[in-house]
């Protein structure tokens, strides 16, 4: 254990033993081409969690080649056989649930409530995607030319590169690969260096055990600070036809430019700065419950966490008093203990970033109602009020358990303030007047608006996604549009007449 961890309570048992992993290329578990590996640490204890292959360009190329070779037969495989693989994968994940909860705790600091949510979500995603092979593969299009029969046919695009983040590691690792695979593509998955197991190698292990043919899913891992050569190969290769990226807006913008240079498509699911509006007629208890969950679940490290709460002035004093008391009662602790509700932040850099943002706001005049200082990598829920408009945290995503609360007098003013951010992922409006909520919700720049529900949530079948700097991808069945090409096929049933 590191020195900074000494203030933390004793560890819960059991924990999984640290293990040396290999990566998955062409159906084989292999070391990095040059034999290098890196250490993946438990964010709570600071101890070694796993040894991971530290790959480079040669590994990425082998994975692309394997995916390219596997494509034709996977795309042609019958619907029943493909469906069986997705159903098997879901069952294996369910069977391994207890072990996977511990892996997420130890690799990413994810406490049991969010880990169990992710497993149940991913199982649902897999079972729903098992139906994709049976969905209509296109439609008949009317032709102006007599005797011409025209079909718009959906076809897989080929090799898709998936890039996953560490935060909702299991759910997002699966989301990165499931729709592309279910549409008949083959995939090279490059997980985050902060969660190479839970956002990558686990997907490989479980799909492999479920009978996915060799090369259909390949997983390539790299060490922190060494994404360059792997990314270069994945973006420069003409054989990679599309990208499925979930991560920060800064990385997404850079990768969109890279993909655009080669005229390749990229699905983007990016950051968020999600507002919650509490109108004058809202149920205060419900608003406080919803805000506590939405702001602090997974210690504020979810793209959909509420970052700013705008409360009608008539409820403001009562709201901040109850909300701060509830926040104060939640303590970050050992994520491997089933009783823990929120765990540590992912790494020291994340702790420092959250601390800097809180300090800057307080230095500018903000008042801290609770929280605000780390113990090791644990950061307790932090509530700020009177945050100055020029503090970065006023409109920028700080990925941690920090939320701002502000009063408002006029609903239109609240909507303008909710929109005063470059992001547009999710929003929530608490009100007794549902139609008012729907109407105001339509004015908030967000891909997802929840009336009397949290900004934080999601089910596999919804059109999940944002607007503005939060990206443009849509999941659920809408993902089929992103990971297939629509091809026109015409058949002339009689000899045609031409003007030349």
Give the active site residues: 269, 303
Site for ligand NAD in 234-253 (CB under 6 A): 246-248, 251
Q: For residue 381, give the nearest of 392, 370, 391 by alpha carbon.
A: 370
Asked if 59 is part of the footprint of ligand NAD (rule: CB under 6 A), the reply reads no
Residues 99 and 95: their CA atoms lie apart, in Å, by 9
* Upper half-sphere CA count for residue 364 (Cβ side, 13 Å): 17
Least separation, in Å, of the C-beta of 82 and ligand NAD?
25
Beta bridge partners of 312: 408
Asked if 282 is part of the footprint of ligand NAD (rule: CB under 6 A), the reply reads no
Nearer to ligand NAD, 251 or 484 (CB): 251
Nearer to ligand NAD, 168 or 180 (CB): 168
Site stretch for ligand NAD (CB under 6 A), options 24-32, 186-194, 236-244, 486-494: 186-194
Site for ligand NAD in 422-451 (CB under 6 A): 425
Alpha-carbon torsion (210, 213, 216, 219), positive or negative: positive
Please give the size of the binding site for ligand NAD, defined by CB under 6 A.
29
Instruction: For residue 225, give the 3-state DSSP assignment.
Output: coil
Q: Report yes or no: 182 and 132 within 8 Å, Cβ to Cβ.
A: yes
Q: Which residues contact 80 (CB under 8 A, 6 or more apart)?
A: 133
Nearer to ligand NAD, 381 or 465 (CB): 465
Asked if 340 is part of the footprint of ligand NAD (rule: CB under 6 A), the reply reads no
Q: Which residues contact 266 (CB under 8 A, 6 or more apart)?
A: 242, 243, 244, 245, 255, 256, 259, 260
Query: What stretch of H or E contains 405?
Result: strand 402-408
- Provide the H-helix boundaries in 419-498: 434-441, 479-482
Asked if 43 is part of the footprint of ligand NAD (rule: CB under 6 A), the reply reads no
Asked if 299 is part of the footprint of ligand NAD (rule: CB under 6 A), the reply reads no
Site stretch for ligand NAD (CB under 6 A), options 187-195, 279-287, 387-395, 409-417: 187-195
Least separation, in Å, of the C-beta of 321 and ligand NAD?
30
The residue written with tokens 């491997």 in the block is 336
Site stretch for ligand NAD (CB under 6 A), options 53-61, 123-131, 142-150, 184-192: 184-192
Instruction: Calculate the alpha carbon distances from 273 to 13, 310, 362, 391, 450 in Å.
Output: 36, 13, 19, 14, 15
Nearer to ligand NAD, 62 or 474 (CB): 474
Nearer to ligand NAD, 91 or 419 (CB): 419
Least separation, in Å, of the C-beta of 271 and ligand NAD?
3
Query: What stretch of H or E contains 296?
Result: helix 284-296
Residues 274 and 291: their CA atoms lie apart, in Å, by 11
Asked if 79 is part of the footprint of ligand NAD (rule: CB under 6 A), the reply reads no
CB atoms within 10 A of CB 359: 14
Asked if 303 is part of the footprint of ligand NAD (rule: CB under 6 A), the reply reads yes
Output the CA angle 38-41-43, nearest 5 degrees: 155
Longest distance between any two alpha carbons in the chain, whole Å: 86
Least separation, in Å, of the C-beta of 348 and ligand NAD?
14
Asked if 163 is part of the footprint of ligand NAD (rule: CB under 6 A), the reply reads yes
Nearer to ligand NAD, 141 or 349 (CB): 349
Cα 103 versus chain centre, distance: 18
Asked if 469 is part of the footprint of ligand NAD (rule: CB under 6 A), the reply reads no
Nearer to ligand NAD, 302 or 430 (CB): 302
Nearer to ligand NAD, 23 or 83 (CB): 23
User: Which residue of 25, 172, 259, 342 would you call a contact of ligand NAD, by CB under 6 A?
Assistant: 172
Per the omega criterion (within 30 degrees of 0), is the bond before 282 cis?
no
Asked if 467 is part of the footprint of ligand NAD (rule: CB under 6 A), the reply reads no
Site for ligand NAD in 389-418 (CB under 6 A): 397, 399
Nearer to ligand NAD, 227 or 467 (CB): 227
Q: Is residue 237 left, alpha or beta, with left meaning phi > 0 and alpha meaning psi from -120 to 50?
A: beta
Task: Report which residue's Cβ sits closest to ligand NAD.
Answer: 247
Q: Report yes or no: 190 and 163 within 8 Å, Cβ to Cβ.
A: yes
CB atoms within 10 A of CB 70: 22
Asked if 290 is part of the footprint of ligand NAD (rule: CB under 6 A), the reply reads no
Alpha-carbon torsion (372, 308, 352, 163), positive or negative: positive
CB atoms within 10 A of CB 411: 19
Beta bridge partners of 149: 491
Residues 62 and 59: their CA atoms lie apart, in Å, by 5
Asked if 192 is part of the footprint of ligand NAD (rule: CB under 6 A), the reply reads yes
Asked if 162 is part of the footprint of ligand NAD (rule: CB under 6 A), the reply reads no
Site stretch for ligand NAD (CB under 6 A), options 40-48, 69-77, 102-110, 190-198: 190-198
Asked if 107 is part of the footprint of ligand NAD (rule: CB under 6 A), the reply reads no
Least separation, in Å, of the C-beta of 248 and ligand NAD?
3
Asked if 457 is part of the footprint of ligand NAD (rule: CB under 6 A), the reply reads no
Least separation, in Å, of the C-beta of 329 and ligand NAD?
26
Least separation, in Å, of the C-beta of 258 and ligand NAD?
8
Output the CA angle 201-203-207, nearest 5 degrees: 120
Site for ligand NAD in 252-281 (CB under 6 A): 255, 269-272
What are the residues binding ligand NAD (CB under 6 A)? 163-168, 172, 190-193, 227, 231, 246-248, 251, 255, 269-272, 303, 397, 399, 425, 466, 470-471
């Amino acid at each position: 254990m590191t020195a900074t961890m000494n203030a933390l309570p004793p560890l819960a048992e059991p924990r999984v033993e640290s293990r040396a992993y290999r990566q998955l290329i062409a159906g084989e578990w292999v070391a990095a081409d040059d034999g290098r590996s890196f250490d993946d640490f438990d964010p709570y204890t600071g101890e070694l969690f796993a040894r991971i292959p530290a790959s480079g360009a040669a590994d990425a190329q082998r994975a692309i080649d394997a995916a390219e070779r596997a494509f034709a037969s996977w795309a042609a495989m019958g619907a029943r056989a493909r469906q069986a693989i997705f159903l098997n994968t879901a069952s294996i994940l369910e069977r391994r649930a207890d072990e996977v909860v511990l892996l997420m705790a130890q690799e990413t600091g994810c406490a049991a409530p969010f880990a169990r949510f992710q497993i149940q979500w991913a199982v649902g995603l897999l079972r729903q995607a098992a139906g994709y092979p049976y969905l209509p593969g296109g439609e008949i299009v009317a032709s102006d030319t007599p005797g011409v029969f025209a079909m718009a046919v959906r076809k897989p695009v080929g090799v898709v590169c998936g890039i996953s983040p560490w935060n909702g590691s299991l759910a997002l690792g699966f989301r990165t690969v499931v729709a592309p695979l279910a549409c008949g593509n083959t995939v090279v998955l490059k997980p985050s260096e902060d969660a190479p197991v839970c956002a990558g190698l686990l997907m490989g292990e479980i799909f492999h055990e479920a009978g996915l043919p060799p090369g259909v899913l390949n997983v390539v891992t790299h060490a922190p600070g060494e994404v360059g050569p792997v990314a270069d190969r994945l973006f420069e290769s003409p054989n990679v036809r599309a990208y499925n990226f979930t991560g920060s807006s800064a990385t997404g913008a850079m990768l969109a430019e890279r993909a655009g240079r080669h005229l390749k498509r990229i699905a983007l699911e990016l950051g968020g700065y999600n507002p919650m509006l509490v109108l004058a007629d809202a149920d205060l208890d419900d608003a406080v419950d919803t805000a506590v969950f939405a702001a602090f679940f997974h210690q504020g490290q979810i793209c959909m966490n509420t970052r700013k709460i705008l409360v009608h002035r008539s409820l403001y004093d009562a709201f901040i008093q109850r909300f701060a008391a509830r926040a104060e009662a939640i303590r970050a602790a050992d994520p491997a203990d089933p009783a823990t509700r929120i765990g540590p932040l992912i790494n020291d850099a994340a702790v420092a970033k959250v601390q800097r943002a809180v300090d800057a706001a307080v230095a500018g005049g903000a008042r801290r109602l609770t929280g605000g200082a780390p113990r090791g990598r644990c950061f307790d829920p932090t509530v700020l009020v009177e945050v100055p408009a020029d503090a970065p945290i006023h409109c920028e995503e700080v990925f941690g358990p920090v939320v701002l609360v502000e009063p408002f007098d006029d609903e239109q003013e609240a909507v303008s303030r909710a929109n005063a951010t470059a992001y547009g992922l999710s929003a929530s409006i608490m009100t007794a007047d549902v139609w008012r909520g729907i109407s105001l919700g339509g004015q908030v720049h967000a891909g997802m608006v929840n009336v009397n529900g949290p900004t934080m949530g999601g089910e596999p079948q919804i059109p999940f996604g944002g607007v503005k700097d939060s990206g443009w991808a849509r999941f659920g069945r809408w993902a089929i549009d992103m990971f297939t090409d629509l091809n026109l096929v015409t058949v002339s049933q009689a000899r045609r007449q031409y003007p030349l």
